[in-house]
């Protein structure tokens, strides 16, 4: 399993949770407060919408789509 760890601010964490409020199959918060995103589920989600919510929040060029999971920690 490959994981890309990304540091974010508390405001970015709140924005990510809000962006995926209705898509709990894409993102979840683990017991230590990190946000975990399945890359496969996120790519499927991108096929449904015209935005890239994670890129809009953390910036372009940050994500490595070769990973299986993105882990965001504040």
pLDDT value of position 48: 87
C-alpha dihedral sign at 30, 34, 37, 38: negative
pLDDT value of position 60: 92
> How many separate domains does the chain show?
1
| pLDDT 10s digits, 39-73 | 999 999 999 888 899 999 999 999 999 999 999 99
Domain coverage including residue 24: 3-73
| pLDDT 10s digits, 5-41 | 999 999 999 999 998 887 878 999 999 999 999 999 9
The pTM assigned to this predicted structure is: 0.91
pLDDT value of position 70: 97
Task: Determine phi and psi for 16, rounding to 5 degrees.
Answer: -65, -45
pLDDT value of position 8: 97
């Amino acid at each position: 399993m490959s994981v890309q760890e990304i540091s974010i601010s508390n405001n970015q964490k709140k924005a990510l949770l809000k962006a995926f409020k209705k898509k709990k199959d894409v993102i979840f918060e683990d017991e230590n407060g990190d946000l975990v995103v399945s890359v496969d589920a996120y790519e499927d989600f991108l096929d449904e919408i015209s935005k890239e919510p994670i890129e809009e929040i953390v910036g372009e060029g940050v994500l490595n789509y070769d990973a299986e999971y993105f882990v965001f920690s504040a």
